[in-house]
Amino acid sequence: MSDFRTSQNEAHPNKTNTLMTGIILMLILFVTIQIWFLYGALNNALEDNFFFAVITFIGSFLFALASFWLLRYLPEPLKDKPGKKK
C-alpha cells in the first residue's frame, strides 16, 4: 500500500541527497565564519580589544546554535522495507 511518504519519496528520489548536501554546505559555511571570528578575536585580544572578543563570541555562539538546530533536519537513512526485493 502506498502512503503520502512513499509517494513523496517516489516523486522526488533525490530529496534526501539534496537535503543532506544543503545541510553540510551550510554547516561548512557556519564553521568557516566561526574560524574567521576566532582568528580575529585571537589577534585583537592581543591589543586588549575586549569589545571585539565579546561580539565575536556572541556571533560564534549564535552560529553554533544554528548548527545544532540544522542537525534536526538531517534526513533519516533510507531503509529497505522488509520483503521488498531490490
Partner 1 sequence: MEQEDPEKIPNWKSDFPIQSKKASHVNRREFAKFLGLLSGALALSNGGIVIKAIAFPSKPLEGEHFVCHENDVPVGKMFQFSIEGNKVVPYMLIHLENTEWRAFEQKCTHLSCAVRYIDDTKRIECPCHHGYFDADTGEVLQGPPPRPLPQLEVVNKEGKIYVKEMKS
Rounded least distance, CB 57 to partner 1, Å: 4
Q: Is 74 in the site for partner 1 (CB under 8 A)?
A: yes
Residues 44 and 46: their CA atoms lie apart, in Å, by 5
- Secondary element (H or E) of residue 48: none
In the numeric block, which cell numbers belong to residue 79?
A: 531503509
Q: What are phi and psi of 62, to 5 degrees?
A: -65, -40
In the numeric block, which cell numbers belong to residue 39?
A: 582568528
33: CB partners within 8 A, 6+ apart: 59, 63
Q: Is 79 in the site for partner 1 (CB under 8 A)?
A: yes
Among 7, 8, 18, 24, binds partner 1 (CB under 8 A): 24
Q: Is 83 in the site for partner 1 (CB under 8 A)?
A: no
The residue ranges that bind partner 1 (CB under 8 A) are 20, 23-24, 27-28, 30-31, 34-35, 37-38, 41-43, 45-48, 50, 53-54, 56-57, 60-61, 63-64, 67-68, 70-71, 74, 77, 79, 82
